[in-house]
Amino acid sequence: MHLFHYVGNALHCESVDLAAIARLHGTPTYVYSAASMEANYRRLATALPGLDVRVCYAMKANGSLAVARLFGNLGAGFDFVSGGEIRRAQAAGCDVTGSVFAGVGKTEAEVRHALEAGLYGFHVESEPELARLNHIAGLMGRKAPVAFRVNPDVDAGTHAKITTGRSENKFGVPLQFAEQAYEAASRFKHIEIRGVQIHIGSQITSVGPFAAAVEKVAPLAAQLRDRFGIQYFSLGGGVGVVYQEALASGAQAWWDARPVAERPLTPEAYGAAVAPVLRGLGLRILLEPGRFLVANAGVLLSRVEYLKRGHGRNFLIVDAGFNDLVRPAMYEAYHEIVPLARDASRPALTADIVGPICESGDTFAKERTLQQVGEGELLAFMSAGAYGFAMASRYNARPLAAEVMVRGTSFELVNARETYAQMFANEKLPSFL
């Protein structure tokens, strides 16, 4: 769910007029709803009743210090995929000891820092990684707590670039070799076997793949519990969100009013599908959501620069580019785009909505229909809270956007727009020039 809605004809985040944020902080600017993120967290944390559930927020979705602190305050752990993410959570003042460290290419420096931080588990992707963990932990006089990421070879039915649970993907240990991997781990002196993990992909919109993966790996989890006394079974993340009609889906009532077959995947449906298999295991269940918690809780504000009328095609040129929001260019992703000032009396406009980047790929939507808008008017790219600012770049020497967080009637700048001086600060000209 989210709390972006029109009050009269003005688009609001919670009780704040988004146009006021744009006037004060300019565009492009990301805006996040604290209440939406909190509601999403609580809803997922309670979706598996009768089980010991720990939610570990996947920081790769949105690494803002303010967002990390919000989830830390709620009691979440974190799912890290780099040493930098660990340091970001620590910089936000979060307790990281209930967190896990995933990723296929953990460096020696990252492993050392994670061990020093006292993370709850390392999600191991290969036996060479296990050997590295054992070696570094031994040098530090510690034991590294591990869970192998098991690849169940389940097709998540999602975009090819974000599926991770098939045998041809680079992630994890194949299920048929998992027992051997754990037996090998048991012989390492500086390794503690603590759990088992799966993660089959992102933006999954049906329960079938989750249920299939859990059913395939649950027998292994039971064997590991009996053989090595593991503590947890991590289900990863991947619960999808609504991108199309995202503004309409803000109220939970909208979901519940639809026939069951037409509803988006909900935490309740997810929990109902996997919980029966998990209850008999007696293990702590880790959930590692990112997108579900933050995607619909954020928007990107942008300003119209020009309406260019071409031969048989209109182009609405905005001040945001794919350096600010790369998902449409990278994943062919859909984002609903709406005006901040709604006016039903205006005629419709059908146009390609594009940015200023010097590439044809800088296109957010093709032949999208919205109300007539012109130079200086404001738009909101909905569902931009996940993989928006986190994937931003300075391509075409464009400064990084600002970030704002809203709670109730107030809003604060949580990340100032980058200046050109900041962009160039770490560069120097060599002496021979």
Residues identified as active-site: 358
Q: Tokens 């076997």 belong to which residue? A: 193
DSSP state of 201: B
Largest CA distance in the chain: 73
> CB neighbours of 25 closer than 8 A, spacing ≥ 6?
402, 404, 413, 417
Give yes or no for a contact between 416 and 330, defined as CB atoms under 8 angstroms apart.
no
- Please state the length of the chain: 433
Q: At what angle do helices 108-117 and 83-91 cross, to 10 degrees?
A: 30
Q: At what angle do helices 65-73 and 34-45 cross, to 10 degrees?
A: 40
Do the strands 77-80 and 29-33 form a parallel or antiparallel pair, or are they unpaired? unpaired
User: For residue 150, what are the β-bridge partners?
Assistant: 173
Give yes or no for a contact between 366 and 351, defined as CB atoms under 8 angstroms apart.
no
How far apart, in whole angstroms, are the C-alpha atoms of residue 332 and residue 359? 15
Among 298, 304, 257, 278, which Cα is nearest to 390's? Answer: 298
Prior bond to 28 cis, omega within 30? yes
Q: Which two tokens stand for residue 380?
A: 């909101």
Give yes or no for a contact between 67 and 60, defined as CB atoms under 8 angstroms apart.
no
DSSP state of 149: E
Three-state secondary-structure class, residue 130: helix
H-type helices in 12-103, by residue range? Answer: 18-25, 34-45, 65-73, 83-91
Q: Which two tokens stand for residue 50?
A: 């009768």
How far apart, in whole angstroms, are the C-alpha atoms of residue 222 and residue 178? 13
Give yes or no for a contact between 230 and 239, defined as CB atoms under 8 angstroms apart.
no
> CB neighbours of 236 closer than 8 A, spacing ≥ 6?
197, 198, 199, 200, 287, 288
**Cβ burial, residue 184 (10 Å; 0-12/13-18/19+):** middle
